[in-house]
Amino acid sequence: MKHVLLGPILRLFFQPKIIEGAENIPKDGGAILASNHLAVSDSFFLPLLLSRRMTFPAKIEYFTGPGLKGKLQKWFFSGVGQVPIDRSSASAAQGALDTGVRIVREGKLLGIYPEGTRSPDGRLYKGKVGVAWIALESGAPVIPVAMFGTDKANPIGSRMWKPHPIRVKIGKPLDFSRYEGLSGDRFVLRSITDEIMYSLMELSGQEYVDVYAAKAKEDATAKVPEQAKPIDRVPSTKAS
């Protein structure tokens, strides 16, 4: 579906291109593609440029909408290779990770955004350790991917995409087999995740922020201009 219906339109208006590292995508077998995340459109352009089908986890709301709109949305996201995940609780989040491991063990390409959500300002934010857990549980390599231009084509809050060149760099696979059997060690998971984020930083050239993107968004939403503090009234010395 993506090639027959959506692909020609995206290629015409955005001219997406892999400018580095296309040879780093394995011809077969499972692998994890860990990408920076600038816009919703990241999940459309990267699969479009690969000869192999890849799967991105997507929030379950994309698949459960009511009415005709909901059915069309479900059809669309299923067609571009996305699978629904529920992140509403700790058990649901674990289920999402288990789904990721299953996809990779089936010999497929799994796309994942270690930042967990889109960057609010174009910088690269601290990675969540789920990508490391999936890598250790599946034994698959992690391939860093840097997207460029998607935030210009699909700015935050925009309803319409704007024509803008999309470029992609694909880094060399990262092998974490030396940590086999240590998926329960949180220090190992953090070390692996930080190594992945460092590779993404080098590949993308983005400034790195050691804060979770979701926290940065919360802080930005909560931040309001300080109200002027009331000035204490000073007793007048003027004679009445």
- pLDDT at residue 156 tops 80: yes
Tell the residue number behind the tokens 């984020």, with chain if given: 197
What is the phi-psi region of residue 116: left when phi exceeds 0, alpha when psi lies from -120 to 50, beta otherwise? Answer: left
Residue 229: pLDDT band with limits 50, 70, 90: very low
Residue 228: pLDDT band with limits 50, 70, 90: very low
Q: Which residues pair with 83 in a beta bridge?
A: 57
Query: Looking at residue 139, what is its pLDDT?
Result: 97
Residue 81: pLDDT band with limits 50, 70, 90: low
pTM of the model: 0.84
- For CA atoms 131, 134, 137, 138, give the dihedral sign: negative
Tell the residue number behind the tokens 């459309």, with chain if given: 44
Query: Looking at residue 2, what is its pLDDT?
Result: 46
Residue 76: pLDDT band with limits 50, 70, 90: low
Query: Looking at residue 73, what is its pLDDT?
Result: 66
Query: Looking at residue 221, what is its pLDDT?
Result: 82
Residue 88: pLDDT band with limits 50, 70, 90: low
Residue 194, CA atoms < 13 Å, CB-side half-sphere = 9
Give the pLDDT confidence of 1-55 residue by residue, as tens digits.
Answer: 444 467 788 888 999 999 999 999 999 999 999 999 999 889 889 998 999 999 8
Does 161 or 142 have the greater pLDDT score? 142
CA distance 114 to 97: 12
Could you tell me the two tokens for 195? 């190594």
Give the pLDDT confidence of 98-126 residue by residue, as tens digits.
Answer: 989 999 999 999 999 999 999 999 999 99
- pLDDT winner (highest mean) among 59-68, 70-79, 172-181: 172-181
What are the backbone dihedrals phi and psi of residue 92, each rounded to the nearest 5 degrees, phi first? -65, -40
CA distance 88 to 90: 7
Question: Domains of the chain by range and CATH?
Answer: 2-8+16-222 (3.40.1130)
